[in-house]
Structure 1
Amino acid sequence: MIVHPTPSQTTLSDPPAMATPVPSRTYEDVASLQALRARRWYVVMGVMILLTCGAMVGCLQFGAHRLTMAETWSALTFSSAGTENVANVIIWDIRFPRILMGLFVGASLAITGAALQALVRNPLADPYVLGISSGAALGATIGLALGLGAIVGGFGLPLFAFIGGGLSIVLVYGIAASQGQLPMHQLLLAGVIVNAVCSALMMFVTSILNPASLYRVVLWLMGTLNAPSIPILIGIGVCLLIAIVLFLRESQALNLLAIGEDAARSLGVDSVRVQRTVFLVSAVLTGAVVSVSGMIGFVGMVIPHLVRILCGADHRLLLPVSALGGGILLMVADTVARTVVAPAEIPVGVITALIGGPFFIYLLMTRKYRFFA
C-alpha cells in the first residue's frame, strides 16, 4: 500500500524555503550612505579650500616688511593708488609668486607621499624614498661644478636637476622591473641603491667645488623657494594638476592596494598597471619639484599621516586633502623661515624638519595611530 505524505510532513525532495527578500529600505540606506559620503567630501574640501585661501592671505602680510590687513587687501583688490605702491610691489612681485610656489611644491610632495604610502604599504614612505631626489641633487651639483648653473636664461640649475632626477627614474625602474613586473620590495631596494650611489657621487663632486659653488649647493640641498619665475610656476602647476587627476583616477585601487596586493587582485584590480602609473607619476612630479625647490623633507610624510587621523584612509578624500594640507604647511613654514631672522632667511627645509620630527615623536609616544585604520 502506498502511503502519501500529508501536507504537514516534509520530505528530502521538497524545495528549500525561499530566502527572505531584502527589503527595499536597504537599497535606500545604501543610497543615503553614498549621499552622506559625497556631502562629507564636499564639506571637507570646502573647509580646506577656505583654510588654504586664509593661509595665503595671512602669509602675504609677514616678512621683512610687515603689511597690515588693509594694505594687503588693497593690493589684492587693486584698489591702492598706482602700480608702484610699496604694498603692490611687495605682494605681487615678491611674496605672491613665492607663496604660490610653496602651495604647489607642498601639495606635490604631500599627495605623492600619500600615494606612495598606499602603494608600498609603508608608513615611512615619502617622495624621496625612490631615490629621485638624490639623482636631482647630483644633477644640480654637477651643473654648478661645471659652471653651467646660469645657462638657458638662468634655468640651468633646475634643468640639470631635472635631468638627474629623470635618469634616476630610468635607473630605479630598470632595476625594479627587470623581470617584467614591479614588486614593491624590489622598487624600494632599487631606490635605496640609487640613493646611496648618487649621494656618494654628490659628496665627491662637492669635495672639489669652490667655496661659492659649495655654498649654493648646500643652500639648495636644505630647500629654498626663493624668487620663482613665472615659467617655473606654470610648469610645476601643470605637472601638479595632471598628477592630481591621475592619482584620483586610481584612488579606489589605492584603497584596495593599501589592504593588500593579493586582496586587490582578487577584486579585479590590475595591480601592475596601478603600480606603474603611481610610480611614474610620483617620480616625474618629485623630480620636477626637487629640481626647483631643493630637498624639503617631512612634508610628504607628515601631512598624509595627519590627514588619515582627521579624515580617515579613503584615498578619494585623503589625496586632495593631503595636497591642500601640504600646501598650507609649506606656505606657513616658508613664511616663518623668511620672518624669524629677517632680513636674513632660514632654509625652509629646516622649518619642516623641526615641525615633522616632534610630530612623529608624538605619534610613537601615544601609540594611538593605526596606519590603515
Structure 2
Amino acid sequence: MKPWTLLLLLLLIATGLCLAGVAVGSTGFSFNILAAQDAMQEQILWQIRFPRSVGSLLAGALLGLGGAIAQGLFRNPLADPYLLGASAGASLGVAVLLVAIGVSPAAVALMLRIGLTGTAFIGALAGVSLTLLLAHGVEQSIRLLLAGVIVGVVLFALTSLLTLMTPDIMRPMQAFMLGTSGFLSWASVWVLAPALLLCLLGAVGASRALDALTLGEATARSLGVRLSLVRLFLIAVLALATGAAVAQAGLIAFVGLVAPHLVRSRVLCTHGWLLMLSALTGGCLLLSADIVARWVIAPQELPVGVVTSLLGGAYLLVLMHRGPLSEKRA
C-alpha cells in the first residue's frame, strides 16, 4: 500500500468514527440525533459528544505521534511515549494537588486557576526533566532509557503511597490512572489541537534526522546530524505531546506503542510519512476505544484505558506469535 493511500483511508476512517462517536450515547447508537432539532439534543450533540469525539481523536493522535518519535529516537520498537517518566510525573502531580486541596486553601486557589489538567501537564514535564537530569543530558540513549525507567518506578511508587495515605483521593486518581475521555470538552480541544500541530510540525521537520538514526549513530554523525541537539529537540516534542495527551485524558496504555506498528505493517515509508500516519492511526485507535467504552455496557461506561489495554495487549500477543512474518512486514 502506498503511504498516501493509507493517509486517505485513515482520514475516511477518522471521519466515520467521529460520526459514530457523536451517535453513541447512554442508550447505544442513535443516528437520529445527527438531525436533531430539539434544543436539548443539540446541546448533547455539540457540547458533549462532538467535542469528546474530536478530543479523543486529538489525544490519540498525540500519543501515536509520541510513540513514533520514541521508537525512532531510541531505535527500539518497544518504546512508547511514557518511556521518559511523563506519565509518572503527571500522576504524581495530580496526586500531590488532590492531597494538598484537603489541607491548604492555597491549593484550592491553584486548582481553580490551572486545574488538574494543568497540574498533570506540569508534572509530566517535571518527570521528563528529572529523567534528563539523572541521565546527565541526552548523549547516551541507554542512560536515558534507564533513567526513564527509574524515574517511572519511583514516581509511581510515590503516587501509590500518597493514594494509600489519603483514601479520599482514590476515586479521582483511579479515573486518571485508568484513562478517561469523559471529561474532554471544547476547552480540551483548544489545548490539544495546537499541541498536535506544533508537535507534528516539529517532528516532521526532524524526520530526516530520524531516518539517519535508523542507520546507526556513527552513520548519522557522518551524515552531519547533530545528535545531541536532535535528541534534545525530539525529547522536548515528545514531552509536549505526551504531557498534553495525558493531562487531558489520563494514562491511556498501548496507543502510542501499537500505532507505529500498525503503520509499519501496512506500508514501508520514511519517518516523514510514519509520523503523520502514526498520529492518524493513534487518533483512530483511541476514538474507536472510546466508542467501545461507551457502547459495550451502556448506559454505564468502561474506562477507555481498559479498552485500549485489552485491545493493544491482544494485538501485541498476535504480533509476537506471528514471529518472523511480522518482522518481514515491519
1:266 to 213, 222, 239: 222
Question: What is the aligned partner in structure 2 of residue 358 from structure 1?
Answer: 314
Which has the higher mean CA deviation after the structures are superposed, 256-265 or 190-199?
256-265
The counterpart of 1:141, out of the listed 92, 95, 101, is 95
Q: Which amino acid aligns with 1:115?
A: I
- Structure 1 pair 302–57 and aligned structure 2 pair: CA distance change class (3 A): same
Stretches of structure 2 lacking an aligned partner (at least 5 in a row): 102-106
Deviation for aligned residue 1:372? 9.2
1:42 is the counterpart of 2:42:
no
8 Å CA contact 1:145–1:205 kept in 2: the answer is yes
16, 23, 26: which one pairs with 1:54?
16
Q: Deviations 1:171-214 (Å, cap 9, x if unpaired)?
A: 11122235xx5211111011011111101211111111134x21
Q: Determine the structure 2 residue equivalent to 1:117.
A: 71
- Distance, in Å, in 2 between the alignment partners of 1:47 and 1:154 is 41
Higher RCO (Cα < 8 Å, 6 or more apart): 2
Question: Retained in 2: the 8 A contact 1:297–1:352?
Answer: yes
Stretches of structure 1 that go unaligned for 5 or more consecutive residues are 1-36, 75-79
TM-score by length of 2: 0.92
* Number of the residue aligned with 2:176: 220
Structure 1 CA distance for aligned equivalents of residues 6 and 319 of structure 2: 23
Match of 1:15 in 2: none
From 23, 43, 59, the equivalent of 1:105 is 59
Q: How does 1:13-24 map to 2 (within 5 A)?
A: none
Note if 1:167 corresponds to 2:154.
no
Aligned pair in 2 of structure 1 residues 42, 123: CA closer, same or farther (>3 Å)? closer
Q: Using the alignment, how far apart are the partners of 1:307 and 1:199 within structure 2?
A: 31
Match of 1:312 in 2: 268
Pairwise CA distance, 1:54: 1.3
Letter in 2 for 1:319: L
- Rounded to whole Å, the distance in 2 between the matches of 1:327 and 1:106 is 4
* Residues 149-175 of structure 1 deviation map (CA, whole Å, 9 limit, x = unaligned): 785447421122122112212211122
Q: How well do the aligned residues superpose, as a CA RMSD in angstroms?
A: 2.0
For 1:119, the aligned partner's letter is L
1:149 touches 1:155 (CA, 8 Å); kept in 2? no
Hey, what's the Cα distance between the residues in 1 that align with 2:165 and 2:246? Answer: 23
The amino acid of 2:268's aligned partner reads: G
The verdict on how the C-alpha distance between 1:149 and 1:299 changes in structure 2, with shifts beyond 3 A counting, is farther
> Which of 198, 208, 213 is 2:165 aligned to?
208
**Secondary structure of the corresponding residue to residue 201 of structure 2:** helix
Pair 1:185-2:142 in alignment = yes
For 1:188, the aligned partner's letter is L
Question: Residues 55 and 332 of structure 1 are in contact (CA less than 8 Å); yes or no, is this contact kept in structure 2?
Answer: yes
Q: Which amino acid aligns with 1:202?
A: T
Picking from 158, 183, 197, the partner of 2:117 is 158
Greater helix fraction, Structure 1 or Structure 2: 2
1:91 aligns with 2:45: yes
- Aligned 8 A contact 2:3 2:269 in 1: no
Does the 8 Å CA contact 1:311/1:317 hold for their aligned counterparts?
Answer: no
Q: How far is the alpha carbon of 1:58 from its aligned partner?
A: 1.8
Change (3 A) 1:154 1:91: farther
CA distance in structure 2 between the partners assigned to 1:55 and 1:160 by the alignment: 30
- Judge conservation of contact 1:244–1:320 (CA < 8 Å) in 2: yes
Alignment-mate amino acid for residue 296 of structure 2: V
Moved more, 255-264 or 116-125: 255-264
Q: Which amino acid aligns with 1:134?
A: A
Aligned letter for 1:110?
Answer: G
| Residue 70 (structure 1) shift | 4.7
Q: Which one has the largest radius of gyration?
A: 1
Q: How many residues align?
A: 324
1:136 and 1:163 in contact (8 A); partners too? yes
Paired residue secondary structure (2:214): helix
Cα pair 2:59 2:283 within 8 Å, conserved: yes
In 2, Cα distance between equivalents of 1:85 and 1:144:
34
Quickly say closer, same or farther: Cα 1:199–1:371, change in 2 above 3 A. Answer: farther
Aligned residue type for 1:196: V
Residues 149 and 157, structure 1, Cα contact 8 Å, conserved in 2 = no
2:85 — aligned with what? Answer: 131
Shift, 1:119, TM fit: 0.7
Q: Distance in 2 between matches of 1:170 and 1:311?
A: 35
Q: Could you tell me which of 289, 296, 302 is aligned with 1:333?
A: 289
Alignment CA distance shift 1:312-1:150 (3 Å): farther
* Secondary structure in structure 2 of the residue aligned to 1:207: helix
> Runs in 1 of length 4+ with deviation above 4 angstroms?
148-152
How far off is 1:85 after superposition?
4.8
Letter in 2 for 1:157: L
- Give the corresponding residue for 2:104: none
